[in-house]
Amino acid sequence: MAINASDVAALRAKTGAGMMDCKKALTEANGNMDEAVDILRKKGLSAAAKKSGRVAAEGIVLTREKDGRTVLVEVNSETDFVAKTDNFLNFCEGVAAAALAAAPADLEGLKQASFPGGKSVAEETTNAVAKIGENIQVRRFALLENKAGFIASYIHGGGKIGVLLDITTGAADNAKVQELGHQIAMHVAAANPQYLCREEVPEAVIAKEKEIMMEKAKASGKPENILAKIVDGQIGKFFGEVCLLEQAYVIDPDKKVKDVVAQLAKELGTEIKLSRFLRFQLGEGIEKKADDFAKEVAAMAK
């Protein structure tokens, strides 16, 4: 029988499931609304859709490597408890495997990629929500390939922070180079640089910082003729805070990261170049709901 748009919209409003899923359910139920609701509930689509609106800021950041590709993935759950369960961790492994196999261009491409077993990542996400009972979101990923060196990786805190570091070198298999790559990836996790080098810092950002520094210098009562020199010195410190190569190396703070790299390159007589880095911190930028459990209990008691 023909299914009209108003019935599909009504079922969607009632269950929160997707338009196409609602249409399929109504078709299967021969237009019977209650039957269609039951069909969606049995498939887990109704519950999954309702859960999809809840805040998911916990989860895990993981990295996996295969055939020259390295992927960094963040998958979110609502609670840290679920993030440690086998069902959730197995789902995350499947997402990483799908990313490595398909090498999608963006997040939407990853969601449409084949999850191990045949279904898409998007379909398996819906299934995971229904099975686990929490909102699960594949939030972001990054995929790097390096044919002129290697990708160093580091996961901190059991999946709270993940780092990939792209290194160009002719000594990719050298143990000292590998160790340095791992240590600098750890440095990135700890120091949280915003840029690789000062050349990558946007001019607008530099101009804004100089403007703020100049106002502070004027307010301090410093002589007008030395204000420019003061700002120049402070902008150098700013680069040392936000640029990886300019930062003090966490393992040896007396040296900058770029100096440590140059020192090993000279020692081995080969090129070692940090080309780029990626850093994911679990839940960064997600606004978490602050629950007041005392108020909730008080409200329930009324």
Q: C-alpha angle with apex 155: 151 to 156, nearest 5 degrees?
A: 145
Tens digits of residue pLDDT in 199-236? 999 999 999 999 988 888 888 888 888 888 888 889 99
Pairing status of strand 137-145 against strand 69-77? antiparallel
This prediction has a pTM of: 0.77
Q: d(Cα 282, Cα 79) in Å, to the nearest integer? A: 12
According to the CATH classification, is domain 55-145 in 3.30.479.20? yes
Q: What is the mean pLDDT of the chain?
A: 88
Residues of the chain with CATH 3.30.479.20: 55-145
Q: Which fold has domain 5-51?
A: Helicase, Ruva Protein; domain 3 (1.10.8)
pLDDT band at 300 (very low <50, low <70, confident <90, very high): very low
Lowest mean pLDDT among 28-42, 78-92, 202-216: 28-42
Q: Which residues, 6+ apart, have CB-to-CB distance to 250 below 8 Å?
A: 186, 187, 190, 191
Q: d(Cα 1, Cα 31) in Å, to the nearest integer? A: 8
Task: Give the dihedral of Cα atoms 84, 88, 90, 95; nearest 10 deg.
Answer: -120
pLDDT band at 44 (very low <50, low <70, confident <90, very high): low
Tokens of 154: 């580091």
Give pLDDT, residue 299: 53
Q: d(Cα 291, Cα 293) in Å, to the nearest integer? A: 6
Distance of alpha carbon 35 from its chain centroid, rounded?
40
Could you give the maximum distance between any two Cα atoms of the chain, in Å? 85
Tens digits of residue pLDDT in 102-149? 999 999 999 999 999 888 999 999 888 888 888 899 999 999 999 899
Residues of the chain with CATH 1.10.8.10: 5-51
Q: d(Cα 13, Cα 19) in Å, to the nearest integer? A: 10
